[in-house]
Chain A
């Protein structure tokens, strides 16, 4: 095993500590600068790593001291890389961060699980939530009545949970790792969170596993920390319960190579059997939090596999042994039923000829010695023997206590497809389908997580599913499923590594990958399709991401059925679907890279980063093609989000910035004419024109290849007008009449206007300016409060919440309705230095507000939105979702407690066929009454 097999990039995050520190020293000036930048230059600032950080959200953030760093925009989904640019070259050795007196906002906490073979680390790096001075936010808070008070007895911290492992025999590497990151200096005690946290002489870290006893002295001696020993079973159970409750796609079944995530109902979780396969195996009946009993176990476990395997094959690592098994054929070593019965089944008792009658039973032959057997065959035979045995004993224990669910954890499994299949088969076979084996993505980290949770105030107890976001940055360098060398520390290393492999002509396949093994049949042990590398080892590293804890995320309160809600309209489990989008994204990649590099001034550095991004993203795609469930359940939204994440990882903060600016400007220039045109119409014609306008303007979408081609053929306004003229009703999905009736009434009956409308906006340029703003204006005119909901972070040319106030301000210059509403909503307080006239009449207008949605993707998962949005939703009785990403790719099937209007132009032929049985450029206007 490579000495340090880190589960995900930590280097990147960890540098932040050093950076944080530096930043802290001049935080005052920094803050001032930042304000200036925003006030005077608005959107178009360079060095947006600062401006972005301001994009925090409201909520319960005021506990944080305002003077500290505002670099981390941990408000909505905190992103790895926003602050990274400044980090580069800032070596952590030079900055012993936590030691500084004023350093308090970036504390790491560490817990260990020291087992017989592996040491597992879970550590937490905190990024202080900030209450920024953003006026928009303050106003939004006031308007929405978001309480500053803290409802919790102690706060949940925003930050990241990292997962790392070492071999126990290489304890020194682990100690060095901890020491270099100063992890042992961190304090979890909340008293220190917001005050000075000087290095503690008597630092204590929580640890579990046998090694917590065995190596306690060593930790004291080397790191000067005391190990606080936590009971192993306690920790396993606490870890498992946490994972099963807090992580959405944690548990999955794995049957005949097919992985399927299981939705766990938290109210129906207990009891279950937890089988932890480490060196040995523990089986624990879990009845609730802290309520459990170790009911059984077996001494034939991972240590047996690796120990016997080492003796028999001379493999140098567990992973190597596992890898070997994929090319094995156990028939040469195992005695099968068919061997005894002359090739026949023993069908009377349900044993097929290929059932293993006796593991290693053929090795009794006099004619062959150890060296005459292939190590591959030995490894496979061993793997089957042990997996099957564990499965059987687990099942018998589940049966004994009437437990239907069995969860398997522990590092033996390593996401290895064949191991999981074998265990699953054993459970299925013996239970005759009654019981189900389930596996955990964080399989190896149960104990360490549990130890982490044993800190008195870890804040994880209160954490809910919707407050966790998992990210999959490129971790240690992988090729062909193997880990090479240490994990990558910073961006430079990452880029260099990518380049190195390109030079060598090595294809970077994203880590880990598995074709389905052809197991089973009656009696279970059909020979796997053991030809060649069809069963590659899942190095498991990329299956576990960094967990971002974002306490301010909430479930969108207007979802009609939170439990049944599934954001993705298109399930990429369908392989042809995946292939299609894979192709789309791959083809779009060069164009995206060009844009991204240009957005950074086209420098050599930007080009290198662009190349690295392209390779990294391609590798992700390749990996997902091989194993779609590698990162959890995969929907199109996840795929699109992954791309944005990957861009940010390589520090492309806003690839479309200049395009967005240009289009905003061009659109704003023609807005007054459009408004005049609209104002000349009667109410009914206006409403239709407005909806047409939204649909027409939605054509400006850089995420759509078809539209990108269009752009080269005309100016924005030309395209917009052409597009609008083509809006022939009926549209493919056309509920306009219903909507009109709701808005204008029928037979002279005037319906009550909506109280508050949430407008989920999509693209910059014409889309927002000529489409959504006029619609917002109409609603305002009718006395409906309007909340524009925009992305927290850039994604393609989508407009962000940061950019909206300036767009609105510009538009308001020519429109009183917008101006008064924007002022009422606090959008113009400081952006409009040269306002036209006094502000007395403001009070008469309903407000126009802007909130961020908490995400940075073209799609939106309404299970995880900003607390701002959640608060804004409270009084809303109309939701308008606009654009493909938010209304079609996601949420097309979502139902809401209030009325909803879904507007989009379908700019993709396949999606048009699939979703609405239409064709490209067809329009969707779907109106749904409250459900």
Chain B
């Protein structure tokens, strides 16, 4: 797959790098990977790091840990093509130093952190094919950890999208909580986050990315999710949706604040006797579907935010894909229902929260004193070389390929 090629190429261009840590999020539709590669010659980075440290008043001597510098990489595979993923991991020759279970003597056992339903479902497969045991991390834990990490550690991670305008949001770390995290994967989870490791899954909906892609496939014969999304940009949902104006003969239903163009019933026009599926343009269907699902997620999210008095809603998950129209619809839905009170925010690393969270869970093992590694919370991990990509790649999913260069203590 394209992504694989891209990632591989990137890796090939840096033959020196070693992958040391890898974590997986195996969902219903997609497998997300996060892995860390060391950069051996990193003088420049070290310089910068040092200067950054100094500017922040952080002394290296604060820590007794060695500093590892490297890059966090993000990759994804379709779950149905798990073999590609296995092949990819094999090709990376993971040097999973230190992940042997020290407590057991026969410790050629290799563990990697994994989350998502597939961590259970495919555990045997990983064992069999790669000899790797999956260390299962709770999905919600990982999502929250990943989101907290991104929101705190990565500048310009969160952004709003209104009227076609992206705007990055400066998150005050001291005023981050509580927030609602909406992860739109195949299905949708809504999590109220009160702090690190403090959260509750308060709601969710079964109408999510899988619904869009599943229904879309049945209705349009698109070959993949991205193609379906592309199509939606060319479509006109009015052909398929029943609008308030269609019912009211073109007039608004002003009394209750419904304009003539408000969708009264998604796909409500498709009840017409005269037209069959073939008579509708796939573009229009895709558009209608996207609006239906985005709007629905936006609405349910808002209602849950309202319920807990949460002003901020962060949307993540692979459904969004930085797709402008999706962003717009969700934003509009939240704006509409909250009458401007609540704001939808999106995360650039939207799809990788779970995988990142799983990755971060290695940290916990530091408690055993063996593998102390730590990402300094005060220390921004992204550095200059990745800058361009990070800041400008929101309209496509190229950001999924990007690495985050980082410095890790103790790896």
Contact = CB atoms under 8 A, between A and B. Distances in A.
Nearest to B257: A294
Interface stretch (A335-343, A576-584, A694-702): A335-343
B210 A360 contact: yes
A470 B16 CA distance: 85
Contacts of B265: 116, 278-280, 299-304, 307
The 8 closest A-B pairs by CB, nearest first: A210-B247, A340-B117, A361-B210, A303-B268, A303-B265, A358-B210, A342-B121, A307-B267
Given A214-B248, A346-B117, A393-B299, A360 B203 contact: no
Nearest to B247: A210
A392 interface: yes
Given A117-B271, A302-B265, A306-B271, A280 B242 contact: yes
B347 to A, nearest CB: 20
A25 to B, nearest CB: 44
Interface stretch (B33-41, B101-109, B212-220): B212-220
A349 interface: yes
Interface in A296-318: 296, 298-304, 306-308, 310-312, 314, 318
A348 B201 CA distance: 10
B391 interface: no
B383 interface: no
Contacts, number: 225
A722 interface: no
B116 A340 contact: yes
A396 B213 CA distance: 26
B6 to A, nearest CB: 22
B292 A299 contact: yes
Contact of A358 (B209, B267, B280): B209
Interface in A363-401: 363-366, 369-370, 373, 378, 385, 388-389, 392-393, 396-397, 399-400
A65 B244 CA distance: 49
A366 B206 contact: no
Given A116-B246, A303-B269, A358-B209, 14 more contacts: A210-B244, A296-B337, A303-B267, A303-B271, A304-B266, A307-B267, A307-B269, A311-B280, A314-B276, A340-B27, A357-B28, A358-B214, A364-B210, A393-B303
Contacts of B300: 392-393, 396
B218 A363 contact: yes
B276 A231 contact: no
A211 B271 contact: no
Nearest to B81: A366
A356 interface: yes
Given A335-B28, A359-B207, A349 B268 contact: no
B267 A359 contact: no
A209 B246 CA distance: 12
Contacts of B255: 231, 233
Contacts of A299: 241, 262-266, 292, 295
A298 B268 contact: no
Contacts of B221: 369
Contact of B240 (A280, A307, A361, A400): A307
Interface string A13-36: 000000000000000000000000
A300 B296 CA distance: 8
Interface in B236-259: 240-242, 244, 246-249, 251, 253, 255-256
Contacts of B271: 117, 169, 303, 306-307, 310, 318
A364 B80 CA distance: 10
Contact of A349 (B117, B201, B276): B201
Contact of B264 (A116, A318, A337, A365): A116
Contacts of B326: none
Contact of B215 (A300, A360, A430): A360
B187 to A, nearest CB: 4
- Counting chain B residues whose Cβ lies within 8 A of the other chain, the interface size class is 35 or more
A362 interface: yes
Interface string B92-117: 00000000000000000000000011
Given A279-B242, A307-B265, A360 B28 contact: no
A674 interface: no
Interface in B114-143: 116-118, 120-122, 138-140
14 contacts: A299-B292, A300-B292, A304-B292, A307-B265, A311-B280, A311-B285, A334-B206, A348-B140, A357-B210, A358-B187, A363-B213, A370-B219, A385-B211, A399-B307
Interface residues of A, number: 72
B307 A357 contact: no
B277 interface: yes
A278 B208 CA distance: 23
Residue in A214, A233, A388 whose Cβ sees the most chain B Cβ within 10 Å:
A214
Residue in A214, A232, A342, A360 whose Cβ sees the most chain B Cβ within 10 Å:
A360
Given A307-B267, A358-B28, A400-B307, A389 B217 contact: no
A115 interface: yes
Contacts of B244: 210
A165 B275 CA distance: 24
Contacts of B263: 280, 299
Contact of A213 (B205, B207, B251, B264): B251
Contacts of B186: 335, 340, 357-358, 361
Nearest to A372: B218
A308 B247 contact: no
Nearest to A233: B256
Interface in A280-331: 280, 294, 296, 298-304, 306-308, 310-312, 314, 318
Contacts of A348: 138, 140
A218 B96 CA distance: 77
A333 interface: yes
A210 B249 contact: yes
Contacts of A365: 80
A349 to B, nearest CB: 5
B270 interface: yes
Given A214-B249, A341-B117, A373-B218, A396 B307 contact: yes
A220 B184 CA distance: 51
A344 interface: yes
Nearest to A358: B210
Contacts of A362: 210, 214
B28 A397 contact: no
Contacts of A169: 271-273
B304 interface: yes
Given A357-B28, A360-B211, A364-B214, A116 B266 contact: no
Contact of B268 (A280, A334, A373): A280
Contact of B306 (A337, A378, A400): A400
Interface string A462-498: 0000000000000000000000000000000000000
A361 B242 contact: no
Residue in B117, B203, B251, B299 whose Cβ sees the most chain A Cβ within 10 Å:
B117
B29 interface: yes
A341 B120 contact: yes
A389 to B, nearest CB: 6
A296 B120 CA distance: 39
Contact of B140 (A213, A349, A388): A349
B215 A363 contact: yes
B371 to A, nearest CB: 26
Contact of B218 (A233, A300, A334, A360): A360
Interface string B225-238: 10000000000000
A423 to B, nearest CB: 14
A357 B122 CA distance: 18
Interface string B317-350: 0000000000000000000010000000000000
A125 to B, nearest CB: 30
A299 B294 CA distance: 11
Residue in B187, B248, B272 whose Cβ sees the most chain A Cβ within 10 Å:
B187
A356 B206 CA distance: 6
Contact of A307 (B120, B246, B266, B337): B266
A606 to B, nearest CB: 45
